[in-house]
């Protein structure tokens, strides 16, 4: 679907500009400067207004820089970052960075709006809930790590 039409549809459905940027990040893996400008135009916000509106701001990248992208809601951790640190160690990937081999990026976000199901993460555009106990999420991470061994 055309990016402009999709953003307009989100606006028409009452989606907030913040949620629109998050949806773009989930679906595309990044928020390009073109997408940011379209959100700005369609929601009739200045760049400053849009940035002020955001509690968190997705890193603007024209394209994904790692093969896999993992976003973890920092707010779900309620100040305890042990799970995030464990995942960072497991993936050998610094927080808010990409692994040295470009296999995966690990970024922290603010609330994804799914708090009751947290802790939440988005891995390769797929949302995972309760990632501290979610075996599907754990197995997906294992599959990604196996790519490293090939
Ligand atoms: S606090 Fe993590 S989804 Fe809301």
**Tokens for 77?**
């951790």
Going by C-alpha positions, the residue among 79, 86, 73 that lies closest to residue 118 is 73
Identify the helix (H) or strand (E) that includes residue 96: none
**Per-residue pLDDT tens listing for the chain (150 residues):** 799 999 999 999 999 898 898 888 778 777 888 888 999 999 999 888 877 776 555 555 555 578 899 999 999 988 888 999 999 999 999 998 889 888 999 999 888 888 999 999 999 888 999 999 999 999 999 999 999 877
pLDDT of residue 55: 57
Ligand 1 closest atom vs CA 75: 1
Say if ligand 1 is within 6 A of residue 66 CB.
no
pLDDT of residue 58: 52
The per-residue b/e assignment along 55-72, b for 16 or more CB within 10 angstroms, e otherwise, is ebebeebeeeebebbbbb
Residue labelled with tokens 């809601």: 73
Task: For the chain, list the domains and their CATH numbers.
Answer: 3-53 (no CATH), 68-149 (3.40.30.10)
pLDDT of residue 117: 92
Say if ligand 1 is within 6 A of residue 31 CB.
no
pLDDT of residue 133: 95
23 C-alpha vs ligand 1 centroid, how far in Å? Answer: 15
Whether pTM > 0.75 for this model: the answer is: no
**Tokens for 21?**
């940027």
């Amino acid at each position: 679907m055309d990016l402009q039409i999709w953003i307009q549809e989100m606006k028409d459905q009452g989606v907030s500009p913040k949620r629109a940027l998050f949806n773009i990040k989930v679906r595309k893996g990044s928020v390009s400067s073109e997408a940011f400008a379209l959100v700005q135009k369609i929601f009739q916000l200045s760049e400053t207004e849009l940035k002020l509106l955001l509690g968190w701001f997705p890193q603007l990248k024209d394209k994904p820089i790692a093969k896999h992208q993992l976003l973890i809601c920092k707010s779900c951790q309620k100040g305890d970052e042990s799970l995030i640190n464990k995942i960072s160690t497991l993936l050998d990937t610094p927080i808010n960075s990409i692994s040295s081999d470009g296999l995966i990026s690990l970024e922290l976000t603010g609330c994804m709006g799914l708090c009751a199901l947290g802790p939440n993460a988005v891995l390769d555009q797929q949302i995972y809930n309760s990632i501290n106990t979610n075996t599907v999420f754990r197995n997906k991470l294992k599959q990604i790590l196996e790519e490293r061994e090939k």
